[in-house]
């Protein structure tokens, strides 16, 4: 049971509740679509990453002082070096698996600022760069600790430069789900984890020992990532039977994303092996293929994934069947 007897913990818990909805990270990058990257850019030979890490030194001024550039040795500061590595791992996964040349498909330099704000409980992509808080030490550890979170936030950039999904209601939940899916895939790819080996957790290790919870979200079992007396219970539904209708959280974008998250997991579970292969390719082609409208609903998105599965693997293939069955299981109509 989380400790509630200190004022410091109560203040941290309030900040953490906001962080669980990523209030700060609802940036223009997520609400205003960017010009789509032509699908053909997938075929361009990806270059190497071009990373720059800055230190805000507890301020909220971006980008801060440069502390590590591409190719330089470790700085000795865990946040700086974790951010540097996380940007590189994410760049590598998109390049090696999907042929994507950085976040925009055109070799965008990857910048990040660490030590942002005082006891800041969040990490976010602001449309141009990554930003990491150090956490409050009571509820959250430093946010650079989680590779899945780094991959998640950078994928908001990929979405920004491809489908430009609106950040509200079901389109916003798909936007969040895409980030969870590829955040999980980055972690799985780096650690060479199969579908059965992977935890399918986003933000594992971010909570301190004072919190009853394993992660921010679970793709395998939405609604089970945490259950804490102060933070409450993970509110994510795992099917349309428990879809949450709310005006909060931009129409429940972080809550209802559990439904498409589970659909992706079910496809991966059915196919086995490595989730970044067939399942990841279907989802990536759906995101970047140019046919997904910015205001897509779950049903529109589901049909788009089915179309991508057919185009890639054929009608009636194991991949096609897995996609259909996954959406049926989470009660989304095709």
Catalytic residue among 22, 254, 319, 320: 254
280 shares its domain with 234:
yes
Catalytic residue among 82, 153, 176, 319: 153
93 shares its domain with 209:
no
85 shares its domain with 179:
no
Q: What is the pLDDT of residues 68-109, one digit of tens each?
A: 999 999 999 999 999 999 999 999 999 999 999 999 999 999
137 shares its domain with 76:
yes
Is 280 a domain residue?
Answer: yes
The percent of residues above 70 in pLDDT, for the chain, comes to 87
When divided into structural domains, the chain yields a total of 2
Domain ranges, residue 286: 169-329
83: CATH: 3.10.170.10
155 shares its domain with 286:
no
280 shares its domain with 190:
yes
119 shares its domain with 44:
yes
Q: What is the pLDDT of residues 209-230, one digit of tens each?
A: 999 999 999 999 999 999 999 8
Q: What is the pLDDT of residues 247-284, one digit of tens each?
A: 999 999 999 999 999 999 999 999 999 999 999 999 99
191 is catalytic: no
Is 5 a domain residue?
Answer: no
227: CATH: 1.10.390.10
91 is catalytic: no
* Boundary-marking domain end, from 122, 139, 160: 160
Q: What is the pLDDT of residues 157-174, one digit of tens each?
A: 999 999 999 999 999 999
Q: Provide the whole-model pTM.
A: 0.92
Q: Annotate the chain with three-state secondary structure.
A: CCCCCCHHHHHHHHHHHHHHCCCCCCCHHHHCCCCCCCHHHHHCCCCCCCEEEEECCCCCCCCCEEEEECCCCCCCCHHHHHHHHHHHHHHHHHHHHHCCCCCCCCCCCEEEEECCCCCCCCEEECCCCEEECCCCCCCECCHHHCHHHHHHHHHHHHHHCCCCCCCCHHHHHHHHHHHHHHHHHHHHHHHCCCCCCCCCEECCCCECCCCCECCCEECCCCCCCEEECCCEECCCCCCHHHCCCCCCHHHHCCCCCHHHHHHHHHHHHHHCCCCCCHHHHHHHHHHHCCCCCCCCCHHHHHHHHHHHHHHHHCCCCHHHHHHHHHHHHCCCCC
């Amino acid at each position: 049971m989380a400790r509630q007897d200190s004022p410091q913990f109560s203040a941290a818990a309030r900040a953490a509740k906001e962080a669980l909805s990523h209030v700060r990270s609802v940036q223009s990058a997520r609400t205003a679509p960017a010009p789509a990257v032509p699908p053909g850019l997938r075929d361009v030979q990806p270059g190497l990453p071009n990373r720059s890490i800055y230190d805000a030194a507890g301020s909220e001024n971006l980008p801060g002082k440069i502390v590590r550039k591409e190719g330089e040795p470790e700085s000795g500061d865990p946040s700086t070096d974790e951010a540097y590595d996380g940007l590189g791992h994410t760049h590598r996964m998109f390049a090696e698996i999907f042929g994507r040349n950085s976040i925009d498909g055109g070799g965008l330099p990857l910048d990040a600022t660490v030590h942002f704000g005082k006891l800041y409980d969040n990490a976010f992509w602001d449309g141009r760069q990554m930003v990491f808080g150090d956490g409050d030490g009571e509820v959250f550890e430093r946010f650079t600790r989680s590779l899945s979170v780094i991959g998640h936030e950078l994928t908001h950039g990929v979405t920004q430069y491809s489908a430009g999904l609106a950040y509200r209601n079901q389109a916003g939940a798909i936007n969040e789900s895409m980030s969870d899916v590829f955040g999980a895939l980055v972690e799985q790819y780096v650690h060479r984890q199969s579908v059965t080996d992977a935890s399918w957790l986003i933000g594992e290790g971010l909570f301190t020992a004072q919190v009853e919870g394993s992660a921010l979200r679970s793709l395998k079992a939405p609604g089970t990532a945490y259950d804490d007396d102060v933070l409450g219970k993970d509110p994510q539904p795992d099917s349309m039977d428990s879809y949450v209708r709310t005006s909060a959280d931009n129409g429940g974008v972080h809550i209802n994303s559990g439904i498409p998250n589970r659909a992706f997991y079910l496809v991966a579970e059915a196919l086995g092996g490595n989730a970044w292969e067939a399942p990841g390719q279907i989802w990536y082609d759906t995101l970047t293929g140019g046919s997904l409208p910015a205001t897509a609903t779950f049903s529109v998105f589901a049909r788009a994934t089915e179309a991508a599965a057919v185009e890639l693997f054929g009608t009636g293939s194991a991949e096609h069947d897995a996609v259909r069955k996954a959406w049926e299981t989470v009660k989304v109509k095709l």
